Structure 1
Amino acid sequence: MKHIFLINPAAGSRGRQAELAGVCRKAALEQNLEYEILVTEHPGHGVELVRKACLQGGGQHLRFYACGGDGTLNEVARGAFGMWNVAVGHFPAGTGNDFIKVFGRQMNRFSHLPELTKGEELPVDYVETNCGGAVNVLSVGIDARVAAGMRKYKRLPLCRGQWPYVFSAAENIVRGLGEGYQVIIDGKSYDGDYSMIFAANGRWYGGGFCPVPDADPQDGQLDVLLVSKVGRMTAAKVVGAYKKGLGYQYPQYIKRVPAHEIEIRRRDGKDLCVNLDGEIAYAPRLQAVLRQGMKFIVPQGVRVEKQDQ
């Protein structure tokens, strides 16, 4: 078995590449592991590096560790998806690290790399789409536009955690809160005017939003929230409830639908802005299918935390 550590030098606090490489090397040498350290150089490079390593692996079991944030994990998962001899893990070094929050109070164990390299592999679901993939969340509408706008705010000094999301959300609320969409979920039409369409595999995103607190990346289904177009006066209370997972308090605005397949188009024919774990794609149509069985590395004994725990 070979352990491959993929470092994103742009994730989290910049200038940590040498530090992360040292942590990875120390953990591998102390456990006498066969290992390799790879460093991404541009967006999408992680996908390329993982696929190349898989093709050159000769059938050997490979474990990839995303050393960065959710975007790094997304690239590693996209590169590894569909490979039978591959497992993916997350050594958190980003600003959000949202996907592994589904493990609740045991999330901190992912930060201890020797424990992670000794870990076990759990099957988790993965969202495959025609414009990329997602481990954690998928969305279109204002939510995706907000994610696209977050990048400029992340470049501002001291703008960390949920603040890039909050500032980008305020900007996009001014621009407009809804569009007409053609939506098909598992063969049934849900056409309408929506502010956003959100699909949860995980629970947390945006540094502090948890719209589906009981989402489970092992249950074989996506939890879709159809958020109707709302006025600016209503938006604050609806978004506040959405953020806290209290959308059920506003059933006239937020509808929850379980899903395995989703197809979305804009009624006006323009390209969709699609958010895939914070990575942005543009396409005239989104087609998403939930796949099961991606191997995810967790410390021994760690499991998805149930909502009532």
Structure 2
Amino acid sequence: MTGFDYDTAFARTVGWVTQPELRTLRHSRVAIAGLGGVGGSHLLVLARLGIGRFHIADFDHFELHNMNRQAGAAMSRLGQPKVEALREMALDINPELDIDTFPHGVSASNMDAFLENVDVYVDGLDFFAFRARREMFAACRRHGIPAVTVAPLGMGAALLNFDPQGMTFDQYFDLKDGLSDEELSVRFMMGLAPAMLHMGYLADPSAVDLAHQRGPSTPMACDLCAGVAGTEVLKILLQRGRVAWAPRGVHFDAYRQRLARTWRPGGNRNPLQRLLIRIARRRLRAQRAHQRAANPEVQ
């Protein structure tokens, strides 16, 4: 068994990047909050890309229902903290990684430390972690850090990048204090994927339960997200290639084999977005009424 050598381990990346660019990746620091559906995959893809420094955060442990989509989920790791498991997996790829862990997740009390000396933030928070996500994107803006979020939707991936000098996260999604979790869910979903490519093949709508913060997922979507996010991180760090910043976005759906590039000036306040959000609210009310009629004992 040979010892580890960075240049040998990542030699096959050279060609798509230059040797000087590979050195830039090696000395860059990426922060990833949330190591569940997409966050763990983000970490492993970026580690294989040659990124040399990470901050990672998650307070959760692996459970059986994580098995269908989460990098690191395995029978041998049930009950293990996600942040520890993913740290071990990343170090198994590159033992020289500088990787700091935040085992209690991210909150207002530790976000400044989490983002210290970070070059790019990659969002891996749970879909329903609205408060933490809003605080994190606001903190990225204060620190001047570009933020990348790629949502796993159906069997595809929806990308939004936030420039710290451009449109804010709250502006794009039209978020404010006092909104219900259900309203936050609707605005977040519609803002993530204005093209709604994934909605045409949802086989069982009853699996979407915003009130109880549940929704279906696929492993294909999570891995697609990691590939998209890794590419955006590369372009941002190396300052080459076109980066679409919010209110522009990209949605690719593998099931429908379709790609949509979206542009919503004003974000969710755009007239078309307002119409789509109203339609989504009506569909949600109709679905809830149908579920109550089918299960009168369930409130």
TM-score (norm 1): 0.32
Greater helix percent: which structure? 2
TM-score (norm 2): 0.33
- Higher relative contact order (CA closer than 8 Å, sequence separation 6+): 1
